[in-house]
Structure 1
Amino acid sequence: MHGILNINKPAGKTSRDVVNIIQRLMRPAKTGHAGTLDPLATGVLVCPVGHGTKLIEYIQRMPKTYEACFLLGRQSDTEDIEGNVQLLDDPPRPSRDEIEAVLLNYLGTIEQVPPAFSALKVAGKRAYDLARQGKEVELASREIEVYALEILAYDYPQLRMRIECGSGTYVRSLGRDIARDLGTEAIMSELMRTAIGCFQIDDAIHPDDQLSRGTLAAALQPTSLAVSQMPQVTVDHDKIVRLAQGKLIEVDVDTASQEVAAMTQAGQLVAVLVPGKEGGWRTARNFANDYL
């Protein structure tokens, strides 16, 4: 029971709720998730199982694609419709061309202040816990990557967009900042994650379907997908033995990358390698014993 599940999270469930459903069916194999979705959000939730849980950080690095709907001319403490929504008094109604012009400022590496209602920690406490207590929450801005922004539909006050971005991006805060550049405010009313790297929503399974241990096992995708964006090398049996023994190996890889995926001849993930001493490569994640 090692692999990766691509789940289509429904609205109203937390990411943890979905993991708990899978965990009950897959015990004793461990289960986790790579990239939290709020209860309001739907779409791709990647849930590694067994050895896959050791690869979560690599999945989290993958680019993410969202479709989001924002309502202009209103604001809320949570930056979405689940908070205390307030309508602005006679806000401007930007044209599509004005919105398109502002979007250009949000491509590439930008600074973003995360929302107060987030799981980030402030002095050891979750920001959303402090915000719910009515306390002032100040979060530092941080760099995020936005690869693409596209207006899918615009009929004031609804603005529907497609967003491709890197890890750590808060889509509702992106809508907030875009609206402020337009002289108004916005809250997020819908969010669907349509992809994380190679994991697409069209291939996702729904947790409300008639799931069983058997159906989940059949839906498991190989752990190699977690490192699909990493340079790869094929290792023979002798090198697999050395990796299982915790020894360095030599690999022929023409890359400046500091990480390489070691694969069997059949394309199965043996290990994630990082540079070791004297030009060799050592394991950062090691599954070599599975192939002996």
Structure 2
Amino acid sequence: MFGLLNLNKHAGATSRDVVNRVLRIVHPLKVGHAGTLDPLATGVLVVCIGSATKLIEHVQRMPKSYRGSFLLGRRSASDDTEQEVELLADAPEPSRAEVEAALPALTGEIQQRPPAYSAINVGGRKAYDLARSGAPPELPPRPVTVYSLTVVAYDYPELVLDIECGSGTYVRAIGRDLAASLGTAAVMSALERTAIGPFKVEEAVAPKSLTAENLPGHLLPAALATSALPRLDATPADIEELRHGRFIERAGYKAKDEIAVYDPSGALFALAKKRPSGKLQPVRVFA
């Protein structure tokens, strides 16, 4: 039980609900997810089992793809339909050409203000807890990367976008800021995460279908989480040294590189880092 599950979260469930379902099957092993989806959202949720929970941050770094639906001419405190939606009076109705012309300003590395209803910590409390108590925080903008924005369909008031972005990007905020640039407002009405790196929604498994009998057959190699890292195919002697926390000699890696180490069978064995001495130090050993 050292691997990853590509799960298709259904609307209404929290990411924690999905983790708890897996945990009931594999207990006492550790279980964690890589990238929260709000209850409104559906799609890819990568769940890590056993020692693979140490790889969560690597999955979180992977590019993400979404299909989001937005309703223009509306606003809410959460920037989606989870909170009460207010219909704007005399809101403009932008043309498709105007919408598409506004997209480049929201692509690349941009400064994005997270929604007040988010899981960001503010003074030891979640922002959404503060917002629900009537004191929504003013969260400062932070840098995020949006690789592409594409209009899939537009029939006012509904706008459907395909979005490719980096970690930490709020799709709700993209809809909010796009609408603001067009002189109006928007709420997100639906969201599907269609991919995280190599994990595609077409290949994802429904959490409700998992059982103790079939779960092992859905488990994916933990190495998928480290596909972006430099690779080292270790010898049996290397494995013995790394297993005991000792450094090994290897050339060809850059300073401070994090390296995925594979054992002679081709399985992910460890993560190592190159130190100033030029040697490789094990920082995570999975076997």
CA distance in 2, matches of 1:179, 1:256: 44
Alignment of 1:222-233 (within 5 A): 222-233=221-232
Hey, what does 2:20 align to over in structure 1?
20
Post-superposition offset of 1:254: 4.7
SS at match of 1:78: coil
How far apart in 1 are the matches of 2:249 and 2:104? 45
Instruction: Tell me if 1:42 matches 2:77.
Output: no
SS across alignment from 1:8: strand
Give the Cα–Cα distance (whole angstroms) in 1 for the partners of residues 165 and 266 of structure 2: 28
Superposed, which structure 2 residues align to 1:128-147 within 5 Å? 128-147=128-147
* Native 8 Å contact 2:65 2:162 kept in 1: yes
Contact 2:2 2:49 in 1 (8 A): yes
Match of 1:98 in 2: 98
CA distance in 1, matches of 2:205, 2:36: 17
Give me the CA root mean square deviation: 1.1
CA distance in 2, matches of 1:280, 1:178: 48
Q: Give, in whole Å, the separation in 1 of the partners of 2:218 and 2:250.
A: 33
AA of the residue aligned to 1:216: L
SS at match of 1:84: coil
2:211 aligned with 1:212: yes
Checking the alignment, whether the CA contact within 8 Å between 2:43 and 2:201 is kept in structure 1 is: yes
SS at 1:52 equivalent:
helix
The equivalent residue for 2:235 is 236
Distance 2:161 2:146 in 1: 13
Question: Is 2:88 aligned against 1:88?
Answer: yes
Deviation at 1:252, TM superposition (A): 3.5
Pairing of 1:1-292 with structure 2 (within 5 A): 1-209=1-209, 211-255=210-254, 258-287=257-286, 290=287
Unpaired runs of 5+ residues, structure 2, are none
Contact 2:146 2:164 survives alignment (8 Å): yes
SS in 2 for 1:208: helix
- How many Å separate the matches in 2 of 1:255 and 1:97? 46
Tell me by how many angstroms 1:276 deviates: 2.2
Contact 2:154–2:160 (Cα < 8 Å) also in 1: yes
Which amino acid letter does the alignment assign opposite residue 105 of structure 2? N
CA offsets per residue over residues 116-170 of structure 1, 9 Å max, x none? 0001011111111110011141111100000111110000000001000000000
Aligned residues of 2:236 and 2:264 also touching (Cα < 8 A): no
Shift of 1:278: 1.2
Structure 1 spans left out of the alignment, 5+ residues: none
Alpha-carbon distance, 1:255 to partner? 4.6
Contact 1:248 1:276 (8 Å CA) reproduced: no
8 A Cα contact 1:231 1:255, kept in partner: no
Shift of 1:277: 4.4
1:282: how far off? 0.7
Tell me the TM-score normalized by structure 2: 0.97
Q: CA deviation at 1:35?
A: 0.2
- Residues 250 and 6 of structure 1, relative CA distance in 2, 3 Å threshold: same
CA distance in 1 between counterparts of 2:203 and 2:108 reads 29
Contact 1:224 1:267 (C-alpha < 8 Å) held by counterparts: no
- Indicate the larger mover: 137-146 or 253-262: 253-262
Aligned-partner residue type, residue 31 of structure 2 = T
Residues 1:229 and 1:257: Cα distance change in structure 2 (over 3 Å) = farther
* 1:255–1:276 distance in 2 versus 1, CA, 3 Å: closer
| Paired letter, 1:15 | S
Residue 266 (structure 1) shift: 3.2
Sort the Cα spacing of 1:257 and 1:65 in 2 relative to 1 into closer, same or farther, 3 A: farther
Helix, strand or coil for the counterpart of 2:33?
coil
1-structure distance, mates of 2:125, 2:11 = 26
Percent of paired sites with the same residue: 51
Alignment CA distance shift 1:198-1:93 (3 Å): same
Shift of the 278–256 alpha-carbon distance from structure 1 to 2, 3 Å rule, reads closer
State the AA in 1 paired with 2:185.
E
Q: Distance in 2 between matches of 1:40 and 1:15?
A: 11
